[in-house]
A and B are shown apart, each in its own frame.
Chain A
């Protein structure tokens, strides 16, 4: 299994320049807001665009080297690219789409992806999940050295999304080739990839396992992107910040001159009376929003969102506009700036 290595790959984009070094040997996800340059990375690896600098290698094979003037066209690179919206050929049947990549092997791949019964169908009329399977079968039919997935779940509705994500998770686990996927959703990235890189304005902000990123977000952006509450204020002693309303929040970390702390919603408890326990941090305020999702609920109190069970929500009788306390331990609070 060859590792795909990007060294200082540079692409001038409209508002900024993409510059990236990355080694893809397992399943890696690039996450970041729209327009961060994520798809550009995939296009550069696939050979659909020519970067202005740097190099791209597949194992020992040089695919692109700005200094040496090497640029292999897409058809000579061993990549399987699954486009956002899948880019299936509308004038060909499902089987012809897969055969386009590799003759005589279509049936095997169609069966493997459970779409054998759709072989004579045309892409127009397939569901989002079915289209994705055709796109995956087509991309993998060439036995590529690397699989590239562009926003694999963005084209799906919320209903099929979770289902397809689980399918994709199983597939990627058993595939055994390096995979690079880009998504704007950290949850999708964490579910699908073993390593996650957060990319903003063409630069890699942080790279690590999803657990690493959650435990030690490098900056406020990564913290909020991974789902944390980011509390900004003025420094107030080691590892402490004073919020606008005067509340002092403390992290169990040394950090002189801290200006922003992060705490995850699932590390916050909610009560209707001032809590009297070991939690060091208490934010008091009016409940501005309650969002229920299945058996969980997000409760927003002042600057923080807490995640509690729907059962607790009812037991405490929390309503929008009511007064409540959010408490969290200093050990669950991180200094991010």
Chain B
């Protein structure tokens, strides 16, 4: 009796929660029609935001891969004093309020900031340029990648790189032929997470890069600024972000099941349903 009542109550609460989580997404697609979305493609604000987002995201994620992978690898494979402190510091931007991150970037890289005069001497001025968007995105999104990559490298049986070394492969060959392929699933998952976080970046970008159409106005910023101008444009841009985010989530799930599959051979779509 009691068990059934409790069970029924749980089902109702869960149903409310799920509807609550799905409803806004449904709203975006119900309020807009494909025709209205397509019509917005000629809207220069939407076009510019789209181009700025693609450009800055790609550059930021490439930088995150380039710098984050060796960072995660070293943190996963070396044991040194202060290692956990370094890991904590690397993860800090994750929990930082985005506006604080923006102020921090200004205080560090702005004209009056820590490195401002050095940058100025080099003829570089970051704030309110497209490069500033890249920096803001990289700052808030990279910890997600590094965390996931670190876990992926740590999950590789340490005897495998050891075996590689005794088989005549130096550290570089061991990294590319053993560590990277075995951590691949986790690295892709980390990149998907970091990509999604970067697309949604708002606070740090607006503080550090501003919202200049065609230069620093990304989709997330444009949605906010077009809100009282053209609701259609806002919905169209939101629709695009929903689709891209869903694809990233799918990639994440697929990559994680790939990492976990014992044979490490191919991604399995079935992992998707069993892990959810």
At the interface, yes or no: B262 with Cβ under 8 Å from chain A? yes
Interchain nearest-CB distance for A92 vs B (Å) = 8
Binary flags per residue of A117-158, CB closer than 8 Å to B gives 1, else 0: 000001011000000000000110010000000000000000
B-side interface residues, number (CB < 8 Å): 20
Kindly identify which residue among B165, B166, B169, B265 contacts A91, using a CB–CB cutoff of 8 Å: B265
Contact A138 B167 (CB under 8 A): yes
Interchain nearest-CB distance for A174 vs B (Å) = 22
Dominant secondary structure of chain A at its interface with chain B: loop
Interchain nearest-CB distance for B46 vs A (Å) = 43
Binary flags per residue of B147-177, CB closer than 8 Å to A gives 1, else 0: 0000000000101101111111110000001
**A73 contacts which chain B residues (CB < 8 A)?**
165, 170
**B43 contacts which chain A residues (CB < 8 A)?**
none
Interchain nearest-CB distance for A79 vs B (Å) = 6
At the interface, yes or no: B77 with Cβ under 8 Å from chain A? no
At the interface, yes or no: A46 with Cβ under 8 Å from chain B? yes
At the interface, yes or no: B264 with Cβ under 8 Å from chain A? yes
Contact A100 B159 (CB under 8 A): no
At the interface, yes or no: A113 with Cβ under 8 Å from chain B? no
**A47 contacts which chain B residues (CB < 8 A)?**
165-166
Listed residue (A73, A81, A102, A139) with the most chain B CB atoms within 10 angstroms of its CB: A81
Those of A195-227 within 8 Å (CB) of chain B: none
Cα–Cα, bound, A138→B178 (Å): 15
Contact B169 A75 (CB under 8 A): yes
The contact sample of 20 A-B pairs, CB cut-off 8 A, is A46-B166, A47-B165, A48-B165, A48-B166, A74-B162, A74-B165, A74-B166, A75-B165, A75-B170, A79-B166, A80-B166, A83-B162, A85-B159, A87-B157, A87-B160, A89-B160, A100-B164, A101-B168, A122-B265, A124-B263
Cα–Cα, bound, A102→B262 (Å): 26
Question: B residues near A, CB below 8 A?
Answer: 157, 159-160, 162-170, 177-178, 181-182, 262-265
**B178 contacts which chain A residues (CB < 8 A)?**
89
**A142 contacts which chain B residues (CB < 8 A)?**
167-168
At the interface, yes or no: A90 with Cβ under 8 Å from chain B? yes
Q: How big is chain A's contact interface, by range?
A: 20 to 34
Cα–Cα, bound, A101→B173 (Å): 12
Cα–Cα, bound, A101→B163 (Å): 10
**A85 contacts which chain B residues (CB < 8 A)?**
159
Interchain nearest-CB distance for B160 vs A (Å) = 6
Contact B182 A87 (CB under 8 A): no
Interchain nearest-CB distance for B191 vs A (Å) = 19
Cα–Cα, bound, A83→B157 (Å): 12
4 tightest A-B contacts by CB?
A74-B165, A87-B159, A87-B163, A101-B167
**B263 contacts which chain A residues (CB < 8 A)?**
90, 122, 124-125
Cα–Cα, bound, A221→B157 (Å): 34
Dominant secondary structure of chain B at its interface with chain A: helix
**B166 contacts which chain A residues (CB < 8 A)?**
46-48, 74-75, 77, 79-81, 139
Cα–Cα, bound, A138→B160 (Å): 13
Additional 9 contacts, C-beta under 8 A, given A75-B170, A81-B166:
A75-B165, A81-B163, A89-B163, A89-B164, A100-B167, A100-B177, A102-B168, A138-B167, A142-B168
Listed residue (A74, A85, A139) with the most chain B CB atoms within 10 angstroms of its CB: A74
Contact B164 A91 (CB under 8 A): no
Question: A residues near B, CB below 8 A?
Answer: 46-48, 73-75, 77, 79-81, 83, 85, 87, 89-91, 100-102, 122, 124-125, 138-139, 142
Cα–Cα, bound, A249→B36 (Å): 103
Contact A87 B162 (CB under 8 A): yes
Interchain nearest-CB distance for B87 vs A (Å) = 24
Contact B159 A90 (CB under 8 A): no
**A90 contacts which chain B residues (CB < 8 A)?**
160, 182, 262-264
**B159 contacts which chain A residues (CB < 8 A)?**
83, 85, 87
Kindly identify which residue among B160, B168, B181, B182 contacts A75, using a CB–CB cutoff of 8 Å: B168
**A122 contacts which chain B residues (CB < 8 A)?**
263, 265
Interchain nearest-CB distance for B48 vs A (Å) = 43
Interchain nearest-CB distance for A83 vs B (Å) = 5
**A124 contacts which chain B residues (CB < 8 A)?**
262-263
Residue in B closest to A102 when the chains form the complex, CB atoms: B168
**B177 contacts which chain A residues (CB < 8 A)?**
100
Cα–Cα, bound, A82→B16 (Å): 57
Cα–Cα, bound, A122→B170 (Å): 24
Cα–Cα, bound, A85→B159 (Å): 10
Kindly identify which residue among A83, A91, A102, A125 contacts B163, using a CB–CB cutoff of 8 Å: A83
A91-B170 contact in complex given A47-B165, A100-B164, C-beta closer than 8 Å: no
Cα–Cα, bound, A102→B169 (Å): 10
**A139 contacts which chain B residues (CB < 8 A)?**
166-167
**B167 contacts which chain A residues (CB < 8 A)?**
75, 100-101, 138-139, 142
Cα–Cα, bound, A122→B264 (Å): 10
**A46 contacts which chain B residues (CB < 8 A)?**
162, 166
Cα–Cα, bound, A85→B273 (Å): 32
Residue in A closest to B182 when the chains form the complex, CB atoms: A91
Contact B181 A91 (CB under 8 A): yes
Interchain nearest-CB distance for B159 vs A (Å) = 4
Contact B168 A91 (CB under 8 A): no
Cα–Cα, bound, A79→B162 (Å): 12
Cα–Cα, bound, A101→B157 (Å): 19
Cα–Cα, bound, A48→B182 (Å): 20
Interchain nearest-CB distance for A119 vs B (Å) = 16
**A81 contacts which chain B residues (CB < 8 A)?**
163, 166
Cα–Cα, bound, A90→B162 (Å): 14
